[in-house]
Amino acid sequence: MVKKMFWIIFKIIAIIITAIFLLFLLSRLIIIISTRQQIHNTIDTVPDAPVAIVFGAGLTRDGLPTPVLRDRVQAAADLYFAGKVQKLLMSGDNRFHDYNEPQAMLEYAINLGIPEQDIVQDFAGRRTYDTCYRAKYIFGVDNAILVTQQFHLPRALFLCDQLGLQSTGYASDLRQYTRTSRTIWNIREIPATVTAMFDVWIRKPIPVLGPNENIE
Protein backbone atom coordinates (compact mmCIF):
# COMPACT_ATOMS: atom_id res chain seq x y z
CA MET A 1 0.00 0.00 0.00
CA VAL A 2 2.77 2.39 0.94
CA LYS A 3 4.69 1.51 -2.21
CA LYS A 4 1.61 2.08 -4.36
CA MET A 5 0.99 5.46 -2.73
CA PHE A 6 4.62 6.40 -3.31
CA TRP A 7 4.34 5.73 -7.03
CA ILE A 8 1.09 7.69 -7.28
CA ILE A 9 2.71 10.69 -5.63
CA PHE A 10 5.78 10.27 -7.82
CA LYS A 11 3.65 10.27 -10.99
CA ILE A 12 1.72 13.34 -9.88
CA ILE A 13 4.95 15.23 -9.19
CA ALA A 14 6.39 14.11 -12.55
CA ILE A 15 3.25 15.32 -14.36
CA ILE A 16 3.39 18.69 -12.60
CA ILE A 17 7.09 19.17 -13.39
CA THR A 18 6.53 18.21 -17.02
CA ALA A 19 3.57 20.59 -17.31
CA ILE A 20 5.62 23.45 -15.86
CA PHE A 21 8.51 22.74 -18.23
CA LEU A 22 6.17 22.66 -21.23
CA LEU A 23 4.60 25.94 -20.12
CA PHE A 24 8.03 27.53 -19.83
CA LEU A 25 9.03 26.16 -23.25
CA LEU A 26 5.81 27.46 -24.80
CA SER A 27 6.49 30.92 -23.36
CA ARG A 28 9.94 30.90 -24.94
CA LEU A 29 8.53 29.83 -28.33
CA ILE A 30 5.88 32.56 -28.23
CA ILE A 31 8.53 35.22 -27.62
CA ILE A 32 10.73 33.85 -30.41
CA ILE A 33 7.86 33.88 -32.90
CA SER A 34 6.54 37.30 -31.87
CA THR A 35 9.95 39.00 -32.25
CA ARG A 36 11.20 37.12 -35.31
CA GLN A 37 10.49 39.98 -37.73
CA GLN A 38 12.49 42.41 -35.60
CA ILE A 39 15.75 40.46 -35.81
CA HIS A 40 18.31 41.17 -38.54
CA ASN A 41 21.43 39.20 -39.41
CA THR A 42 22.89 41.57 -41.99
CA ILE A 43 23.65 45.26 -41.58
CA ASP A 44 22.02 46.26 -44.87
CA THR A 45 18.55 45.27 -43.63
CA VAL A 46 18.79 46.98 -40.23
CA PRO A 47 16.77 50.22 -40.04
CA ASP A 48 18.65 53.27 -38.75
CA ALA A 49 18.28 54.26 -35.11
CA PRO A 50 19.94 56.93 -32.96
CA VAL A 51 21.46 54.44 -30.52
CA ALA A 52 22.75 50.87 -30.40
CA ILE A 53 22.35 49.20 -27.01
CA VAL A 54 25.12 46.70 -26.29
CA PHE A 55 24.37 44.19 -23.51
CA GLY A 56 27.09 43.00 -21.15
CA ALA A 57 28.20 39.36 -21.36
CA GLY A 58 30.87 38.81 -18.75
CA LEU A 59 34.60 39.42 -18.35
CA THR A 60 37.59 37.13 -18.20
CA ARG A 61 39.71 36.84 -15.06
CA ASP A 62 41.93 39.57 -16.50
CA GLY A 63 38.97 41.95 -16.70
CA LEU A 64 38.76 41.76 -20.49
CA PRO A 65 35.58 41.16 -22.52
CA THR A 66 34.70 37.52 -23.11
CA PRO A 67 34.56 36.36 -26.76
CA VAL A 68 30.77 36.69 -26.67
CA LEU A 69 31.03 40.26 -25.41
CA ARG A 70 33.75 41.13 -27.94
CA ASP A 71 31.39 40.01 -30.69
CA ARG A 72 28.67 42.28 -29.35
CA VAL A 73 30.96 45.29 -29.25
CA GLN A 74 32.34 44.48 -32.70
CA ALA A 75 28.83 44.17 -34.15
CA ALA A 76 27.87 47.52 -32.61
CA ALA A 77 31.01 49.07 -34.08
CA ASP A 78 30.04 47.69 -37.48
CA LEU A 79 26.66 49.39 -37.18
CA TYR A 80 28.35 52.65 -36.20
CA PHE A 81 30.78 52.62 -39.14
CA ALA A 82 27.92 51.73 -41.50
CA GLY A 83 26.09 54.88 -40.38
CA LYS A 84 23.22 52.93 -38.85
CA VAL A 85 23.64 54.55 -35.40
CA GLN A 86 25.29 57.64 -33.97
CA LYS A 87 25.83 56.51 -30.37
CA LEU A 88 26.64 53.26 -28.57
CA LEU A 89 25.17 52.61 -25.13
CA MET A 90 27.41 50.11 -23.36
CA SER A 91 25.37 48.55 -20.55
CA GLY A 92 26.77 46.07 -18.06
CA ASP A 93 27.46 45.13 -14.48
CA ASN A 94 29.67 47.21 -12.20
CA ARG A 95 28.46 46.18 -8.75
CA PHE A 96 31.99 45.40 -7.59
CA HIS A 97 35.11 47.55 -7.68
CA ASP A 98 37.11 44.95 -9.60
CA TYR A 99 34.36 44.06 -12.10
CA ASN A 100 33.49 46.73 -14.66
CA GLU A 101 31.84 45.51 -17.84
CA PRO A 102 31.00 48.95 -19.33
CA GLN A 103 34.60 50.13 -18.96
CA ALA A 104 35.97 47.01 -20.63
CA MET A 105 33.41 47.45 -23.41
CA LEU A 106 34.36 51.10 -23.89
CA GLU A 107 38.07 50.33 -24.09
CA TYR A 108 37.48 47.55 -26.61
CA ALA A 109 35.27 49.83 -28.73
CA ILE A 110 37.90 52.58 -28.70
CA ASN A 111 40.47 50.05 -29.88
CA LEU A 112 38.13 49.30 -32.78
CA GLY A 113 38.14 52.97 -33.73
CA ILE A 114 34.93 54.27 -32.14
CA PRO A 115 35.34 57.88 -30.88
CA GLU A 116 35.01 57.99 -27.10
CA GLN A 117 32.52 60.87 -27.28
CA ASP A 118 30.08 58.59 -29.10
CA ILE A 119 30.13 55.93 -26.38
CA VAL A 120 27.81 56.17 -23.37
CA GLN A 121 28.26 53.87 -20.38
CA ASP A 122 25.53 52.38 -18.22
CA PHE A 123 27.15 50.95 -15.11
CA ALA A 124 23.93 49.48 -13.68
CA GLY A 125 22.89 47.13 -16.47
CA ARG A 126 22.90 44.14 -14.14
CA ARG A 127 20.16 42.30 -16.00
CA THR A 128 18.57 42.57 -19.43
CA TYR A 129 15.49 44.06 -17.77
CA ASP A 130 17.63 46.70 -16.04
CA THR A 131 19.41 47.62 -19.28
CA CYS A 132 16.14 48.10 -21.18
CA TYR A 133 14.48 49.99 -18.32
CA ARG A 134 17.41 52.35 -17.77
CA ALA A 135 17.87 52.95 -21.50
CA LYS A 136 14.31 54.24 -21.61
CA TYR A 137 14.00 56.09 -18.31
CA ILE A 138 17.57 57.19 -17.51
CA PHE A 139 19.12 57.68 -20.92
CA GLY A 140 15.95 58.82 -22.71
CA VAL A 141 16.22 56.28 -25.54
CA ASP A 142 13.00 55.88 -27.54
CA ASN A 143 14.35 53.95 -30.52
CA ALA A 144 17.35 51.63 -30.55
CA ILE A 145 19.08 48.72 -32.20
CA LEU A 146 19.71 45.94 -29.68
CA VAL A 147 23.05 44.23 -30.18
CA THR A 148 23.46 40.76 -28.76
CA GLN A 149 23.53 37.13 -29.88
CA GLN A 150 20.60 35.44 -31.61
CA PHE A 151 19.68 33.37 -28.54
CA HIS A 152 19.30 36.51 -26.39
CA LEU A 153 17.59 38.86 -28.83
CA PRO A 154 13.97 37.60 -28.44
CA ARG A 155 13.98 38.25 -24.69
CA ALA A 156 15.75 41.60 -25.05
CA LEU A 157 13.32 42.75 -27.76
CA PHE A 158 10.33 41.58 -25.73
CA LEU A 159 11.49 43.52 -22.66
CA CYS A 160 12.21 46.72 -24.57
CA ASP A 161 8.86 46.53 -26.38
CA GLN A 162 7.00 45.99 -23.10
CA LEU A 163 8.83 48.91 -21.47
CA GLY A 164 7.91 51.27 -24.29
CA LEU A 165 11.23 51.36 -26.12
CA GLN A 166 10.93 50.83 -29.89
CA SER A 167 13.63 48.41 -30.94
CA THR A 168 15.05 46.17 -33.60
CA GLY A 169 17.70 43.53 -33.09
CA TYR A 170 21.03 42.92 -34.78
CA ALA A 171 22.45 39.46 -34.15
CA SER A 172 26.10 39.57 -33.11
CA ASP A 173 26.91 35.93 -33.85
CA LEU A 174 30.24 36.68 -35.47
CA ARG A 175 31.88 33.31 -34.83
CA GLN A 176 30.95 29.66 -34.61
CA TYR A 177 30.14 29.05 -30.96
CA THR A 178 30.47 25.55 -29.59
CA ARG A 179 27.42 23.31 -29.59
CA THR A 180 27.67 22.98 -25.81
CA SER A 181 27.63 26.75 -25.36
CA ARG A 182 24.65 27.17 -27.67
CA THR A 183 22.75 24.44 -25.85
CA ILE A 184 23.43 25.97 -22.43
CA TRP A 185 22.42 29.44 -23.62
CA ASN A 186 19.16 28.25 -25.14
CA ILE A 187 18.22 26.19 -22.09
CA ARG A 188 18.98 29.16 -19.84
CA GLU A 189 16.71 31.37 -21.93
CA ILE A 190 13.66 29.25 -21.09
CA PRO A 191 13.40 30.24 -17.39
CA ALA A 192 14.88 33.68 -18.16
CA THR A 193 12.03 34.36 -20.58
CA VAL A 194 9.42 33.39 -18.00
CA THR A 195 11.14 35.67 -15.49
CA ALA A 196 11.03 38.50 -18.03
CA MET A 197 7.28 38.01 -18.49
CA PHE A 198 6.77 37.96 -14.73
CA ASP A 199 8.80 41.16 -14.36
CA VAL A 200 6.95 43.25 -16.95
CA TRP A 201 3.45 41.94 -16.28
CA ILE A 202 3.37 41.31 -12.55
CA ARG A 203 6.39 42.26 -10.43
CA LYS A 204 7.45 45.42 -12.30
CA PRO A 205 10.69 45.91 -10.34
CA ILE A 206 12.48 49.25 -10.28
CA PRO A 207 16.19 48.81 -11.03
CA VAL A 208 19.02 50.97 -9.75
CA LEU A 209 18.22 54.49 -10.93
CA GLY A 210 19.99 57.85 -10.79
CA PRO A 211 20.04 61.24 -12.51
CA ASN A 212 18.82 61.50 -16.08
CA GLU A 213 21.60 61.23 -18.65
CA ASN A 214 19.77 61.78 -21.91
CA ILE A 215 21.78 60.68 -24.92
CA GLU A 216 21.96 63.54 -27.40
For the chain, the domains span 2-203
For the segment 55-96, what is each residue's pLDDT rounded down to a tens digit? 999 899 899 999 999 999 999 999 999 999 999 999 999 988
Residue 216 has pLDDT above 70, yes or no: no
Helix 179-198 to helix 2-35 angle, to the nearest 10 degrees? Answer: 90
CATH class, 2-203 region: alpha beta
pTM, full prediction: 0.91
What φ, ψ does residue 169 adopt, rounded to 5°? -120, 140
Q: What is the 8-class DSSP label of residue 93?
A: B
| Contact yes or no for 112/73 (Cβ under 8 A) | yes
Residue 162 has pLDDT above 90, yes or no: yes
Q: What pLDDT is recorded for position 143?
A: 97
Say how many C-beta atoms besides its own lie within 10 A of residue 111's C-beta. Answer: 10
d(CA 181, CA 32): 19
Q: Which amino acid is at 198?
A: F
For the segment 94-121, what is each residue's pLDDT rounded down to a tens digit? 988 889 999 999 999 999 999 999 999 9
What φ, ψ does residue 50 adopt, rounded to 5°? -65, -30
